[in-house]
Amino acid sequence: MSDLIFHVLPGGRLTGTLRVPGDKSISHRSIMLGSLAEGVTEVSGFLEGEDSLATLQAFRDMGVEIHGPEQGRVTIHGVGLHGLKAPSKPLDLGNSGTSMRLLSGLLSGQAFDVTLIGDSSLSKRPMKRVTLPLAQMGAVVETTEGGTPPLAIKGGKPLHGIDYAMPVASAQVKSCLLLAGLYADSPTCVTEPAPTRDHTERMLRGFGYPVKVDGATACVEPGGRLTATTIDVPADISSATFFMVGAAISEGSDVTLQHVGINPTRIGVINILRLMGTDLEVLNEREVGGEPVADIRVRGSKLKGCVIPEDQVPLAIDEFPALFVAAACAEGETLLTGAEELRVKESDRIQVMADGLIALGVDAVPTPDGMRIQGGTIGGGEVQSHGDHRIAMSFAMAALRASGPITIHDCANVNTSFPGFVELAAGAGLGIALGG
């Protein structure tokens, strides 16, 4: 793939009313549960990004009839919990860690063998966090010696329910085990050390499958069934974050983001931006398909550095690349700790963001589990995104406060989560253009 480059001019401001693409986490799960349901599930607001499309293709490859996506609308003809068929080839999940981790649980309960593969970035990501507890349930999932993909899943293995205390807070691990638990012979319970996104639990209930949640423990019992439903996917708060940060750091900005999912397990970015002094309003709160949504208005603000509370870290784990940019524009020091998970995302987001900020003249010091950033001025320069979509979009927004142009390399993967980012950002006032 040739190097797709973002060229971003310094200065400017963001204005207008925008709707960012649908939530990636919910889009993935709508395909998975819709495929396993009985009846026809209609989805609107589906994210037509490469990651969710990889999930959609995987279920097509296992014999599920799926129409669309067309303008965010998808129709899924569910086959029931036991209706999937063996694919004729390995399932290629591209760059999507969510697809691979959730499918490893779901597919451990099937009657057929299946292999999960991904691109070079996904092939380096750790999978033992799911394969070890799945093995406790009786699943047979083989990885490379280093515990990375491809994953070879052996079918026809009886699964047993377990009580699992997760060593690290991860919605992907929790979801993987709950989905495997649908196929076990006794209840499966997962206890998390800190709250993580609960889209799987909410959507299982939306499809009529009971989930018991008691404090930090979620349990499913086998023997239920999923019944087709209608899902309206909210706009993705992770994608909205780039515009929230861009508006907050640029004087005179005034942006309203419509129909954004504000699931309580995902609102760390709102809490942290408010802690830094952002003028941020949450308007028109409502519930759509079991998920809370709202419109979010952000105006240009004088930000102050802060110590980010560790209890907010799991609620904002995907938003830190953008929050690091906010910290670079804030007065004083911002300190993040307890976020070692950032080192095993699509890139090592702590190191890659620190390298980029330093390249732009920001005083940023990476630590094993976070970063220390002294706010000040952002210069122009060249930044490597290492193929990480969130890094590329975060540095694009940094240009609003930069003293010179910013060139960002390796931006093709922005399409995994945010197709149309460049057009939407340019329309709101960011001086961004594509190069190659």
Using DSSP's 3-state secondary structure scheme, residue 160 falls into coil
Tell the residue number behind the tokens 């998975």, with chain if given.
32
Side by side, which strands form the sheet with 230-232?
65-70, 73-79, 38-44, 230-232
Q: Give the model's pLDDT for residue 1.
A: 46
Instruction: Write down which residue in 198, 232, 266 finishes a domain.
Output: 232
- Give 154: exposed, middle or buried? Use CB within 10 Å, 0-12, 13-18, 19+: middle
Residue 194 has pLDDT above 90, yes or no: no
CATH at residue 252: 3.65.10.10
Residue 107 has pLDDT above 50, yes or no: yes
Tell me the pLDDT of the chain averaged across its residues: 96
Share of the chain above pLDDT 90, in %: 92
- Per-residue pLDDT reduced to its tens digit, 34-89: 999 999 999 999 999 999 999 999 999 999 999 999 999 999 999 999 999 999 99
Q: Are residues 284 and 417 in the same domain?
A: yes
- Of the residues 61, 318, 388, 410, only one is catalytic, namely 318
Q: Are residues 84 and 200 in the same domain?
A: yes
Q: Are residues 319 and 173 in the same domain?
A: no
Q: Are residues 258 and 169 in the same domain?
A: no
Six token digits for residue 347: 């890139």
Residue 245 pLDDT level (bands cut at 50, 70, 90): very high
- Give 60: exposed, middle or buried? Use CB within 10 Å, 0-12, 13-18, 19+: middle
Side by side, which strands form the sheet with 254-261?
15-18, 254-261, 291-299, 279-288
Q: Are residues 261 and 395 in the same domain?
A: yes
Q: Are residues 418 and 403 in the same domain?
A: yes
DSSP state of 21: P
Contacts 24+ apart (CB under 8 A), 401-404: 401/249, 401/250, 401/328, 401/329, 401/377, 402/8, 402/10, 402/11, 402/360, 402/378, 403/10, 403/377, 403/378, 403/379, 404/10, 404/379, 404/380
CA atoms of 236 and 72, how far apart (whole Å): 13
Q: Are residues 138 and 260 in the same domain?
A: no
DSSP state of 387: T
CA atoms of 141 and 135, how far apart (whole Å): 7
Q: Are residues 324 and 298 in the same domain?
A: yes
- Per-residue pLDDT reduced to its tens digit, 117-150: 999 989 999 999 999 999 999 999 999 999 999 9
Residue 289 has pLDDT above 80, yes or no: no
- Per-residue pLDDT reduced to its tens digit, 268-288: 999 999 999 999 999 999 988
Q: What's the domain count of the chain?
A: 2
Q: Give the model's pLDDT for residue 314.
A: 87
DSSP state of 112: S
CA atoms of 48 and 68, how far apart (whole Å): 10
CA atoms of 360 and 204, how far apart (whole Å): 45
Six token digits for residue 259: 């129909």
Residue 169 pLDDT level (bands cut at 50, 70, 90): confident
Distance, first Cα to last Cα, the chain = 10
As a whole number of Å, the CA-based R_g of the chain is 21
- Read off the pLDDT of each residue in 193-206 and give the average, rounded to a whole number: 92
Q: Are residues 239 and 372 in the same domain?
A: yes
CA atoms of 187 and 236, how far apart (whole Å): 32
Question: Which domain covers residue 294, as residue numbers?
Answer: 5-22+234-435
Asked if 318 is an active-site residue, the reply is yes
Six token digits for residue 318: 């995907």
Residue 378 has pLDDT above 60, yes or no: yes
Dmax (CA) for the chain in angstroms is 62
